[in-house]
Amino acid sequence: MCGEGPARPGQEQPHEPHAGESSALDTLNALDAVRLRRVNRWLAQDLCEQLADLYVDSRETSAAEAYRSRSRQDFLNRLTGDIRRSGFAMVIAETDHLAGCAFGFPVASDGSWWLGFDGALPQGIEQLTASGGVFAITGILVRPHPRDQDVARHVQERLLSGHQASLGATLVDPGDHLTLASLRSWGWLDLGEVWRPTGPTMFRALVFPLGERTTARLESLAHDAWTRRPG
């Protein structure tokens, strides 16, 4: 029978999850449904239009249509440039649709990626760069829903671990407060400012150490990250 009544002796009482438990279960179930997949540059090219749609969805929905159109094309131009770089890699998250992605390329051992860094680059960063252990993440995209932030964290970790990188690195527009807050909440450390001759005048440089050994080597950066954060 489908009717429900008081539990009989020996009959297990159904568990009613509390609000916090329900939220945690929803997140776990959502992640279980997500498939992570590495794609090469040719598959990434085939996915360009879908990735551009995902990019637009990840932006402010109240943006003017003309701005959204221009922003979409700018993203496609940047993605095309990244795909052409040596060692380009991408990880996508899928359910019944494209749910998220992260992509980037290995940082050259000559240190040119750090050109324009304001001040002395920490010695640990220089050493990891020279040894080819740094991977630059140039894009992390998810739709702007709370549980999708877990998807973003998982795709970036899969991308970095798949390249056996010791350190992730990224540059963020200082005006993009949402991205900065998300990265910091995932354990990224703020190194300081990087000045570039093109694009926004200044970026925030953030790094993500992988593994206990790398984290220990860069432990001193944690304090600097807090003292250098913009107000």
In a domain, 39, yes or no: yes
Domain around 59: 26-228
Per the prediction, the chain carries an average pLDDT of: 76
* 55: CATH: 3.40.630.30
What pLDDT is stored for residue 184 in this prediction? 87
| More reliable by pLDDT, 138 or 214 | 138
| pLDDT at 7 > cutoff 60 | no
| pLDDT at 127 > cutoff 70 | yes
Instruction: Give, in degrees to the nearest 5, the angle at Cα 138 between 52 and 80.
Output: 50
| pLDDT at 80 > cutoff 90 | yes
What pLDDT is stored for residue 89 in this prediction? 95
In a domain, 5, yes or no: no
| More reliable by pLDDT, 201 or 174 | 174
Query: Which of 39-48, 58-67, 184-193 shows the lowest per-residue confidence on average (mean pLDDT)?
Result: 58-67
| pLDDT at 164 > cutoff 60 | yes
In a domain, 53, yes or no: yes
> What total of structural domains would you count in the chain?
1
